[in-house]
Amino acid sequence: MDELDLLKKSWNKPQQAHKTLSVNDIYPMLHKKSSSIVKTLFYISIAELVFWLLINAIPVFYSDEHKQKLEALYQNDTLLTVITFITYGIILVFIYLLYKSYQNISVTDSAKKLMENILKTRKIIKYYVLYNLIMAAVSLSIGFYYVLHNDVNLTDKIAHLSNSQLVGLYAGIVAVVIIFVCIIWLFYRLIYGLLLKRLNRNYNELKQLED
Amino acid sequence: MKTELEHNFVELLEKHQNIVHKVCRLYTNNYDAHNDLFQEITIQLWKAYPKFRGDSKFSTWMYRVGLNTAITLYRKSKRQISTQDYDGVEFKIKAEDYDDTEEQQLKVLYKAVHKLNDIEKALVFLYLEDKDYREISETLGISEVNARVKMNRIKTKLKAILNP
């Protein structure tokens, strides 16, 4: 008789390792909060959406001067208006994709399929973050460029810089942008790495079986 | 107000609760963790219950949700505080079946099974539940052949753990 058959013999016998629950014990459990990975992922994705929307919107609410500048820009520049529409369009597409992928997650699927659907959802969030980071890097670069060329005080100062100093200044700006993007990216990797560590391990184990 | 749906579900779960306890027994090693996982599986079962059409047996449906929760969805919650290990607990089998040697053997066996990874535990669980390889493969999403091969490897692994 092998080891598992020995375990099988007592498998269905009641054990004292747990207490047998009554109907009254079970009722309150139905309404407790779930701490499932999908729920956490859902909250994170909502937080991401709101966070990046706020980052884009805060300057508008924060300063009247900035608001006026933006309004002036929008009136003069149809390209900027088009870009803004596209940006919000892309966010809407992400929201739709996220909604669809959450709907696809079903606890009654096979273990492998369930894991795949969760990882697919995580991928959509990843692309959303990546998209925002690229946009942030581009905006920061344009912002720096705009300030350097339009701020009277600064342009005066820059005019006195030597070529090597100028290269240093631009290199510094590029470094700031890269560091900013990397820090945020590492932060996300850490959050998702911790959250999905076990899922990834189990998914790889299942995948290895099929290879 | 308890609805009829709630009432039906709770009655069914109460009747079949041993399935959930058995999943918890394999995936946790103390009371608090056991209760916490039981709680999470209950929530997942309840959330999925409106879609349960009764075309499969309630117990079969429970295996799937229970295992999926244990393997994939469950995150250890802050609710767990104290940790009394099962190893320190005399889990007693009914008096008439009581056999010290058997109980010791079982303890050692559970300890060995706890050393397996999550997927291996799922296979062991379904095997102990007398599920055929078709059902094991459908539950995990792998082929029947691979389920069989893996099961043989697990048996060898358990032997190695028990007889180092």
Q: B55 and B123: one domain?
A: no
pLDDT at B88: 45
pLDDT at B21: 92
In sequence order, the 6+-apart residues with CB closer than 8 A to the CB of A84 are A74
In chain B, residues with a C-beta closer than 8 Å to the C-beta of A201 are 117-118
Give the Cα separation of B41 and B36 in Å (integer).
9
Cβ contact B29:B88 at 8 Å: no
Q: Summarize pLDDT for B81-136 with one digit per residue, the tens.
A: 444 455 544 444 444 455 567 777 778 888 899 999 999 999 999 999 999 999 99
Q: What is the CATH number of the domain that holds B158?
A: 1.10.10.10
Q: B79 and B95: one domain?
A: no
Q: B68 and B113: one domain?
A: no
Q: B104 and B72: one domain?
A: no
Nearest-neighbour CA in chain A from B61: distance (Å): 7
Q: B59 and B115: one domain?
A: no
Q: B111 and B141: one domain?
A: yes
For chain A, the structural domain boundaries read: 35-206
Q: B82 and B99: one domain?
A: no
In sequence order, the 6+-apart residues with CB closer than 8 A to the CB of A140 are A176, A177, A180
Q: B44 and B85: one domain?
A: yes
Q: What is the CATH number of the domain that holds B45?
A: 1.10.1740.10
Q: What is the pTM of this model?
A: 0.83
Q: Summarize pLDDT for A131-187 with one digit per residue, the tens.
A: 888 888 887 777 777 777 777 777 777 777 788 888 888 888 889 888 988 998 888
Identify any residues that bridge with B30 across adjacent strands, giving them in sequence order. Answer: B85
User: Which residue from B73, B94, B105 is facing A13, i.e. has the nearest CB?
Assistant: B94
Q: Do A4 and B128 touch (CB under 8 A)?
A: yes
Give the Cα separation of B85 and B28 in Å (integer).
9
Q: B163 and B122: one domain?
A: yes
Residues spanned by the domain of B129:
91-164
Q: Do B142 and A115 touch (CB under 8 A)?
A: no
pLDDT at A194: 87
Give the Cα separation of B77 and B35 in Å (integer).
11
Q: Do B40 and A36 touch (CB under 8 A)?
A: yes
Give the Cα separation of B21 and B90 in Å (integer).
17
Q: How far is CA A154 from the centre of its chain?
A: 36
Which of B89, B113, B138 corresponds to the end of one domain?
B89
Give the Cα separation of A118 and A88 in Å (integer).
25
Give the mutation candidate from A110, A122, A196, A197 for the B interface (greatest B CB count, under 10 A).
A110
Give the Cα separation of A208 and B16 in Å (integer).
33
Q: B85 and B95: one domain?
A: no
Q: What is the dihedral of CA A130, A136, A141, A143, to 10 degrees?
A: 170
Token readout for A183 is: 């820090």
Q: Do B128 and A7 touch (CB under 8 A)?
A: yes
pLDDT at B76: 74
- What's the number of domains chain B is made of? 2
pLDDT higher than 70, residue A85: yes
In chain A, residues with a C-beta closer than 8 Å to the C-beta of B109 are 3, 6-7
Q: Do A202 and B117 touch (CB under 8 A)?
A: yes
Q: B14 and B34: one domain?
A: yes
- H/E run at residue A166: helix A163-210
Nearest-neighbour CA in chain A from B10: distance (Å): 6
Cβ contact A2:B151 at 8 Å: no
Q: Do B43 and A32 touch (CB under 8 A)?
A: yes
pLDDT at A48: 83
| ipTM confidence | 0.84
pLDDT at B93: 43
Q: Summarize pLDDT for B19-54 with one digit per residue, the tens.
A: 999 999 899 988 889 999 999 999 999 999 998 877
The DSSP code for A21 is P
Give the Cα separation of A19 and B17 in Å (integer).
10
Token readout for A88 is: 């919000």
Q: B35 and B52: one domain?
A: yes
Q: Do B6 and A113 touch (CB under 8 A)?
A: no
